[in-house]
A = this chain, B = another copy of it.
């Protein structure tokens, strides 16, 4: 299968690498010059659970010419519209587009560029890191749940599932993937924004009663807004899942901490707590905690001169 990875950071490299090793024709797309240069000159280097190096093509999105069978979207949330514009020329009538971005609201963006029958929405708990340009750190295992947003697309989506599973990506076709997307957004909405603001690990934040009040209130806002949009969400189950995730990931700084505190980059807050705040406003569901933490993160971006 011919596959573009649209956005080839850590996660894009993981998926691109595994699909390439499984025998697919894979092209990485990205705009980070040092990363492109490193992979063009030295190949993509894999460290972590195993060591490897593969000669895999990488180019700027607008340089891609050949229509793809599959495009996997792995950009930062705010780069999604630009990416979809840049790759317009390789989106054929039957090109499936799989979105595995964190956060909420991406479906509405993608629909502006791709016919519904070709859109697959998904969620993954795979992780990955970058040691530097051209070097991906791949540890542990994960899984993917995905769904064709047009039920008529299910049979073709199952073929994509098969290709991804041949690459060991542990993919399940999920007849109702939206609750999982909301659940993961809620994991991010309780950990990423808070740990970025407080400059701490997940375990450090989750250790106090006061922090847990924040966590529970944010979960409640996500669940109320999700339900108001018609998504089936079980607040108790999501709370248990988040508490379990916080224990497992206690030592980690979430990605928004890496963005804001470590690298002084703009955050994806508008697609996590900010998305719930906006949707809550539309639907008349109060979301003061999502509003306030979004404002505080943006204010901090401003203090750091990155907004």
Chain A residues in contact with chain B, CB under 8 A? 194, 197-200, 204-205, 207-208, 210-211, 213-214, 217, 286, 288-289, 291-296, 298-300, 302-303, 307
Q: Are A207 and B302 in contact (CB under 8 A)?
A: yes
Q: How far is the CB of A297 from chain B (nearest CB, A)?
A: 8
The 3 closest A-B pairs by CB, nearest first: A288-B288, A208-B302, A210-B298
Residues in B whose Cβ lies below 8 Å from that of A291: 213
Q: How far is the CB of A299 from chain B (nearest CB, A)?
A: 4
Q: Are B299 and A210 in contact (CB under 8 A)?
A: yes
Residues in B whose Cβ lies below 8 Å from that of A293: 292
A198-B303, A200-B303, A302-B210 are contacts. A292–B295 as well, Cβ < 8 Å?
Answer: no
With A and B bound together, what is the CA distance between A204 and B197 in angstroms?
16
Residues in B whose Cβ lies below 8 Å from that of A288: 217, 286, 288-289, 292
Q: Are B303 and A204 in contact (CB under 8 A)?
A: yes
Q: How far is the CB of A250 from chain B (nearest CB, A)?
A: 13
Q: Is the interface of A mostly helix, strand, loop or mixed?
A: helix
Most buried by B among A289, A296, A302: A296
Which of the residues B198, B204, B294 comes within 8 Å of A296, measured between beta carbons? B198
Residues in B whose Cβ lies below 8 Å from that of A300: 198
Most buried by B among A199, A211, A294, A303: A303
Nearest neighbor of A208 in chain B, beta-carbon distance: B302
Q: Are A214 and B289 in contact (CB under 8 A)?
A: no
Nearest neighbor of A295 in chain B, beta-carbon distance: B210
Q: Given contacts A198-B296, A286-B288, could you give 17 more A-B pairs where the C-beta distance is less than 8 Å?
A: A198-B299, A198-B300, A199-B303, A205-B299, A205-B303, A207-B303, A208-B299, A208-B303, A208-B307, A213-B291, A214-B292, A214-B296, A288-B288, A288-B289, A289-B292, A292-B292, A292-B293
Q: Are A197 and B200 in contact (CB under 8 A)?
A: no
With A and B bound together, what is the CA distance between A187 and B295 in angstroms?
19
With A and B bound together, what is the CA distance between A247 and B215 in angstroms?
34
With A and B bound together, what is the CA distance between A90 and B307 in angstroms?
56
With A and B bound together, what is the CA distance between A197 and B293 in angstroms?
11
Nearest neighbor of A293 in chain B, beta-carbon distance: B292
Q: How far is the CB of A82 from chain B (nearest CB, A)?
A: 23
With A and B bound together, what is the CA distance between A300 and B199 in angstroms?
9
Q: Are A197 and B298 in contact (CB under 8 A)?
A: no
Q: How far is the CB of A294 from chain B (nearest CB, A)?
A: 8
With A and B bound together, what is the CA distance between A197 and B214 in angstroms?
15
